[in-house]
Amino acid sequence: MSFISEFKEFAMRGNVIDMAVGVVIGGAFGKIVSSLVGDIIMPVVGVITGGVNFTDLKLTLKEAAEGAPAVTINYGSFIQTMVDFLIIAFCIFCVIKALNTLKNKLPKEEEAAPAEPETPADIALLTEIRDLLKK
């Protein structure tokens, strides 16, 4: 089997295609959730916390000198990213919880009663002979 045909077989597997679709949809969903957090939730959090913007917090290790930029540890960006993560995780949790609740409230399809296993031909014939002998 050649390398190209082996790659084609790998790439056309159902799992790989499903994963690719999941990644694309996940990326789009990520943009929606990021917009929800950045454009809707964070302004409200900013008003509640008095307009604190964590991104501006930093520790300067070396001041800017002779055209070289200052060396800083931007811990505020890290804090902001953590807050964003917690809000995103909470939003996703709420969406999944709502979907699970909705799924549990939908009527379940009734499962068909398991059919009796078919009797083998020789056993059926012996049963018929037995019934005839009883008569």
55 is a domain residue: yes
Quick: pLDDT tens for 6-30: 887 777 776 777 888 888 888 888 8
Rounded to the nearest angstrom, the gap between the alpha carbon of residue 66 and the centroid of all alpha carbons in its chain is 49
Domain count within the chain = 1
Domain of 71, CATH number, reads: 1.10.1200.120
What number of H helices and E strands is found in the chain?
Answer: 5, 2
**Looking only at Cα atoms, what is the longest distance across the chain?**
115
Range of the domain at 44: 3-109
What local confidence, expressed as pLDDT, does residue 113 receive? 63
Residues recorded for the chain: 135
When pLDDT is cut at 50, 70 and 90, the band that residue 3 belongs to is confident
Identify whether 118 is part of a domain. no
115 lies in a domain? no
Which tokens go with 88? 């995103």
β-bridge mates for residue 65, sequence order: 68
d(CA 31, CA 22): 14
pLDDT in tens, 34-77: 888 788 887 887 788 787 777 888 898 988 888 888 899 999 88
Task: Identify whether 38 is part of a domain.
Answer: yes
* 124 lies in some domain: no
Whether this model's pTM surpasses 0.85:
no
